[in-house]
Amino acid sequence: MQHALSSGLPEPVKCASALVRYRLRDKMPAVVRIAALTACEGCDLAFRPVSGEVQCGSCRQRRAAAAAPARADDAGERIGWRERMAKLARG
């Protein structure tokens, strides 16, 4: 911000207020807006949505895990991704 306001100043400055007005209006970097907190529809936890989410990350993960089909090994036992990768590496 200081660099945008003070770099490349003309010599001499004729009207300081006009220079400051111009620099603030045209030379300042864009302001990043932070989304307001919203309550999760699943658990009422406050979170900041990134792209229109209505549930917090934990609720979205639980919903995705419930919707995903259960993976099982050859014996019908449920295994995690690490075990699947180890099994694939063994051949």
* Residue 34 backbone class (left: φ over 0; alpha: ψ -120 to 50; beta: rest): beta
pLDDT at 70: 62
For residue 74, what is the DSSP state? T
Boundaries of domain holding 68 = 38-90
83 and 48, same structural domain?
A: yes
38-39 and 46-47 as β-strands: parallel, antiparallel, unpaired? antiparallel
The pTM for the full model equals: 0.43
Mean pLDDT by runs of 10 across the 91 residues of the chain is: 74 85 81 86 92 91 82 65 88 77
Domain count within the chain: 2
43 and 23, same structural domain?
A: no
49 and 28, same structural domain?
A: no
